[in-house]
Amino acid sequence: MPRRELRFAEFLYYSGVVSWQQLVAAITWQRQHRPRVGELAVACGLMTKQEVAQLLGQRLRNRSPSAFAQFAVDEGRISAAQRTRLLSQQRSMQPRIGQYFVVHGLISADQLEHLLHCVKQMNAALEVNEASRVRARR
Protein backbone atom coordinates (compact mmCIF):
# COMPACT_ATOMS: atom_id res chain seq x y z
CA MET A 1 0.00 0.00 0.00
CA PRO A 2 1.52 3.38 -0.93
CA ARG A 3 2.22 5.73 1.95
CA ARG A 4 0.18 8.57 0.48
CA GLU A 5 -3.47 9.56 0.48
CA LEU A 6 -5.41 7.34 -1.88
CA ARG A 7 -8.60 7.89 -3.81
CA PHE A 8 -11.23 5.23 -3.24
CA ALA A 9 -10.65 3.27 -6.47
CA GLU A 10 -6.88 3.31 -5.88
CA PHE A 11 -7.48 1.95 -2.39
CA LEU A 12 -9.56 -0.90 -3.85
CA TYR A 13 -6.79 -1.72 -6.31
CA TYR A 14 -3.95 -1.63 -3.77
CA SER A 15 -6.07 -3.65 -1.34
CA GLY A 16 -6.50 -6.36 -3.96
CA VAL A 17 -10.28 -5.91 -4.15
CA VAL A 18 -10.23 -5.02 -7.86
CA SER A 19 -7.80 -5.63 -10.70
CA TRP A 20 -5.97 -2.97 -12.71
CA GLN A 21 -8.35 -3.58 -15.62
CA GLN A 22 -11.38 -3.12 -13.35
CA LEU A 23 -9.88 0.10 -11.98
CA VAL A 24 -9.34 1.49 -15.48
CA ALA A 25 -12.85 0.40 -16.54
CA ALA A 26 -14.35 2.19 -13.51
CA ILE A 27 -12.46 5.41 -14.23
CA THR A 28 -13.52 5.24 -17.89
CA TRP A 29 -17.15 4.63 -16.86
CA GLN A 30 -17.08 7.59 -14.48
CA ARG A 31 -15.65 9.91 -17.14
CA GLN A 32 -18.21 8.78 -19.70
CA HIS A 33 -21.07 9.52 -17.30
CA ARG A 34 -20.08 12.99 -16.16
CA PRO A 35 -21.50 16.06 -17.86
CA ARG A 36 -19.22 17.97 -20.19
CA VAL A 37 -18.04 21.39 -19.11
CA GLY A 38 -19.30 22.98 -22.34
CA GLU A 39 -22.77 21.56 -21.74
CA LEU A 40 -22.72 22.92 -18.20
CA ALA A 41 -21.58 26.35 -19.47
CA VAL A 42 -24.57 26.39 -21.84
CA ALA A 43 -26.97 25.23 -19.12
CA CYS A 44 -25.69 27.99 -16.82
CA GLY A 45 -26.04 30.63 -19.53
CA LEU A 46 -22.31 31.35 -19.69
CA MET A 47 -22.00 30.33 -23.34
CA THR A 48 -24.21 29.34 -26.24
CA LYS A 49 -23.95 25.99 -28.02
CA GLN A 50 -22.43 27.83 -30.98
CA GLU A 51 -19.79 29.46 -28.77
CA VAL A 52 -18.88 26.09 -27.28
CA ALA A 53 -18.60 24.56 -30.75
CA GLN A 54 -16.45 27.50 -31.92
CA LEU A 55 -14.18 27.20 -28.91
CA LEU A 56 -13.81 23.44 -29.35
CA GLY A 57 -12.88 23.98 -33.00
CA GLN A 58 -10.38 26.67 -32.08
CA ARG A 59 -8.86 24.45 -29.39
CA LEU A 60 -8.48 21.65 -31.94
CA ARG A 61 -6.95 23.95 -34.58
CA ASN A 62 -4.52 25.34 -32.00
CA ARG A 63 -3.68 21.81 -30.88
CA SER A 64 -4.04 23.09 -27.34
CA PRO A 65 -3.19 20.58 -24.61
CA SER A 66 -5.40 22.54 -22.19
CA ALA A 67 -8.67 21.10 -21.01
CA PHE A 68 -11.76 22.84 -22.38
CA ALA A 69 -12.44 24.83 -19.19
CA GLN A 70 -8.89 26.17 -19.01
CA PHE A 71 -8.87 26.95 -22.72
CA ALA A 72 -12.12 28.90 -22.27
CA VAL A 73 -10.44 30.95 -19.52
CA ASP A 74 -7.31 31.47 -21.62
CA GLU A 75 -9.45 32.72 -24.50
CA GLY A 76 -11.39 35.10 -22.25
CA ARG A 77 -14.72 33.29 -22.69
CA ILE A 78 -15.20 32.60 -18.98
CA SER A 79 -13.47 33.78 -15.81
CA ALA A 80 -11.29 31.62 -13.58
CA ALA A 81 -14.01 31.74 -10.93
CA GLN A 82 -16.59 30.53 -13.46
CA ARG A 83 -14.24 27.69 -14.46
CA THR A 84 -13.92 26.68 -10.82
CA ARG A 85 -17.70 26.67 -10.38
CA LEU A 86 -18.21 24.65 -13.58
CA LEU A 87 -15.62 22.06 -12.58
CA SER A 88 -17.12 21.82 -9.10
CA GLN A 89 -20.56 21.32 -10.61
CA GLN A 90 -19.18 18.69 -12.98
CA ARG A 91 -17.59 16.78 -10.09
CA SER A 92 -20.78 16.90 -8.05
CA MET A 93 -22.86 15.61 -10.96
CA GLN A 94 -20.66 12.69 -11.99
CA PRO A 95 -21.50 9.32 -10.49
CA ARG A 96 -19.44 8.16 -7.53
CA ILE A 97 -16.90 5.59 -8.66
CA GLY A 98 -17.99 3.16 -5.97
CA GLN A 99 -21.30 2.80 -7.81
CA TYR A 100 -19.46 1.18 -10.70
CA PHE A 101 -18.11 -1.58 -8.50
CA VAL A 102 -21.52 -2.25 -6.95
CA VAL A 103 -23.46 -2.12 -10.25
CA HIS A 104 -20.97 -4.52 -11.85
CA GLY A 105 -21.16 -6.95 -8.93
CA LEU A 106 -17.56 -6.51 -7.81
CA ILE A 107 -18.56 -5.49 -4.28
CA SER A 108 -21.85 -5.28 -2.39
CA ALA A 109 -23.42 -2.06 -1.14
CA ASP A 110 -22.47 -3.09 2.41
CA GLN A 111 -18.87 -3.70 1.35
CA LEU A 112 -18.85 -0.31 -0.34
CA GLU A 113 -19.77 1.42 2.93
CA HIS A 114 -17.19 -0.57 4.87
CA LEU A 115 -14.41 0.08 2.33
CA LEU A 116 -15.23 3.80 2.17
CA HIS A 117 -14.85 3.90 5.94
CA CYS A 118 -11.51 2.04 5.70
CA VAL A 119 -10.01 4.40 3.11
CA LYS A 120 -11.12 7.45 5.10
CA GLN A 121 -9.51 6.04 8.24
CA MET A 122 -6.30 5.22 6.40
CA ASN A 123 -6.09 8.68 4.81
CA ALA A 124 -6.81 10.38 8.13
CA ALA A 125 -4.05 8.36 9.83
CA LEU A 126 -1.62 9.36 7.07
CA GLU A 127 -2.47 13.04 7.62
CA VAL A 128 -1.85 12.71 11.37
CA ASN A 129 1.47 10.92 10.77
CA GLU A 130 2.59 13.54 8.24
CA ALA A 131 1.69 16.38 10.62
CA SER A 132 3.69 14.67 13.37
CA ARG A 133 6.70 14.30 11.07
CA VAL A 134 6.53 17.98 10.10
CA ARG A 135 6.41 19.05 13.76
CA ALA A 136 9.30 16.71 14.61
CA ARG A 137 11.51 18.33 11.94
CA ARG A 138 11.03 21.80 13.41
Q: Which domain holds residue 81?
A: 35-94
Q: What is the dihedral of CA 16, 23, 92, 124, to 10 degrees?
A: 30
Residues 87 and 114 in one domain: no
Residues 88 and 63 in one domain: yes
> Residue 110 — very low, low, confident or very high, per pLDDT cuts 50/70/90?
very high
Number of domains comprising the chain: 2
What is the pTM for the complete model shown? 0.74
Residues 41 and 86 in one domain: yes
Residues 27 and 47 in one domain: no
pLDDT tens for residues 47-81?
Answer: 999 999 999 999 999 999 999 999 999 999 999 99
Residues 55 and 90 in one domain: yes
Residues 77 and 106 in one domain: no
